[in-house]
């Protein structure tokens, strides 16, 4: 893949980009209802509407704000529906391993940390010193970001990425990946392509794109997929990673979930690219005005 260097200036002007819900158009075969996860509550009505009024293939409205924290090199506040994630990036900075006496690392080291606020979900809970799920996703996020960052252009450097879930109404892990990608772009880190993620669920014989918190409580099968959204110099629709949670499913169910998730990453990636271009134009205008 040819590297795509996205450089954002140091001016920290707030730029907000809001996108309305979008329906994913993909040819996906219908799944037999007998293989569905049975629940007492009706998550998809007879008219094909979900609990929040969306269709099965619609993504929630997205709000993207770049440059929200001037104390770090890059930051982004990513909101999809009522889910809100804040991502910050420190670096790239010179890095030397502790106790090493030889040369520095030939490539860039990425350290990702994922946290969830105690008030992110419904009901107050005590803050935990060690969250096993957060630690596991931190390692997954590190691997995903390492595959997207062009580390050979920044040898002997280190990048620290932190994602904080402020409100969790479903799809927090996918939102964290998208927020981290935008924060890296805001910090001027070269990426191979725009990395986008989405969570797809399977409930009552329906494949639902971008599940919310109520749909996650149905305990159906969920697929979180990360892929290059395309549109740059890199190959389009290159799957970086995917994770299937909460049980097993039939092959045709997985294929339908995979196809819809892959189509949804293109829509999410287009929204992220539009917000990035809007931010770049704003910075270019601010720099032009500073010269006069």
**Which of 10-19, 108-117, 150-159, 181-190 shows the highest mean pLDDT?**
181-190
| Alpha-carbon dihedral angle through residues 258, 172, 137, 203, given to the nearest 10 degrees | -40
Q: What percent of the chain has pLDDT over 90?
A: 47
Per residue, the 3-state secondary structure of the chain, as one string, reads CCCECCCCCCCCCCEEEEECCEECCCCCCCCCHHHCCCCCCCCECCCCCECCCCCCCEECCEEEEECCCCCCCEEEEEEECCEEEEEEEEEEEECCCCCCCCCCCCCEEEEEEEEECCCCCCCCCCCCCCCHHHHHHHHHHHHHHHHHECHHHCCCEEEEEEEEEEECCCCHHHHHHHHHHHHHHHCCCCECCCEEEEEEEEECCEEEECCCHHHHCCCCEEEEEEEECCCCCCCCCEEEEEEEECCCCCHHHHHHHHHHHHHHHHHHHHHHHHHHHHHHHHHHHHHHHHCC
Residue 290 confidence class, pLDDT cut points 50, 70, 90: low
What mean pLDDT is predicted for residues 68-90? 94
What mean pLDDT is predicted for residues 55-81? 93
**Which of 9-23, 39-53, 112-126, 259-273 shows the highest mean pLDDT?**
259-273
* Residue 13: per-residue pLDDT: 45
* Residue 26: per-residue pLDDT: 53
* Residue 75: per-residue pLDDT: 95
Higher-confidence position of 280 and 16 = 280
What mean pLDDT is predicted for residues 40-54? 82
Q: What percent of the chain has pLDDT over 70?
A: 76
* Residue 227: per-residue pLDDT: 94
Cis peptide before 257 (omega within 30 of 0): no
Mean pLDDT, the chain, whole residue set? 81
* Residue 233: per-residue pLDDT: 46
Q: Is the pLDDT of residue 62 over 60?
A: yes
What mean pLDDT is predicted for residues 234-250? 78
| Pairing assessment for the beta strands 108-116 and 157-167 based on DSSP bridges | parallel
* Residue 38: per-residue pLDDT: 47
* Residue 20: per-residue pLDDT: 67
Q: Is the pLDDT of residue 160 over 70?
A: yes
Q: Is the pLDDT of residue 204 over 60?
A: yes
- Encode pLDDT of 97-156 as tens digits: 654 555 555 778 899 999 988 777 766 565 566 678 888 999 999 999 999 999 888 888
For residues 49 and 16, give the distance between their C-alpha atoms in angstroms, rounded to a whole number.
29
* Residue 63: per-residue pLDDT: 95
Residue 32 confidence class, pLDDT cut points 50, 70, 90: very low
């Amino acid at each position: 893949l040819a590297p795509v260097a996205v450089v954002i200036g140091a001016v920290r002007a707030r730029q907000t980009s809001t996108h309305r819900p979008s329906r994913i158009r993909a040819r996906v075969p219908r799944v037999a209802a007998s293989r569905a996860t049975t629940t007492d509550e009706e998550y998809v009505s007879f008219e094909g509407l979900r609990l929040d009024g969306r269709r099965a293939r619609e993504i929630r409205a997205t709000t993207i704000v770049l440059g929200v924290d001037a104390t770090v090199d890059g930051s982004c506040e990513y909101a999809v529906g009522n889910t809100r994630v804040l991502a910050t990036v420190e670096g790239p900075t010179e890095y030397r391993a502790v106790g090493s006496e030889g040369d520095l690392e030939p490539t860039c080291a990425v350290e990702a940390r994922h946290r969830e606020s105690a008030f992110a979900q419904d009901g107050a809970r005590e803050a935990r010193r060690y969250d096993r799920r957060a630690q596991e996703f931190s390692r997954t996020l590190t691997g995903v970001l390492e595959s997207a960052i062009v580390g050979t252009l920044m040898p002997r450097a280190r990048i620290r990425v932190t994602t904080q879930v402020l409100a969790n109404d479903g799809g927090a892990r996918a939102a964290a990946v998208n927020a981290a990608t935008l924060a890296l772009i805001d910090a001027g880190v070269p990426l191979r392509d725009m990395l986008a993620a989405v969570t797809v669920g399977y409930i009552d014989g329906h494949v639902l794109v971008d599940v919310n918190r109520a749909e996650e409580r149905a305990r159906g099968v969920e697929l979180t997929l990360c892929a290059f959204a395309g549109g740059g110099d890199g190959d389009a629709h290159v799957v970086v990673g995917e994770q299937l949670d909460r049980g097993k499913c039939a092959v045709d169910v997985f294929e339908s979930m995979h196809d819809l998730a892959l189509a949804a990453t293109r829509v999410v990636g287009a929204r992220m690219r539009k917000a990035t271009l809007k931010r770049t134009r704003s910075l270019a205008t601010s720099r032009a005005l500073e010269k006069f």
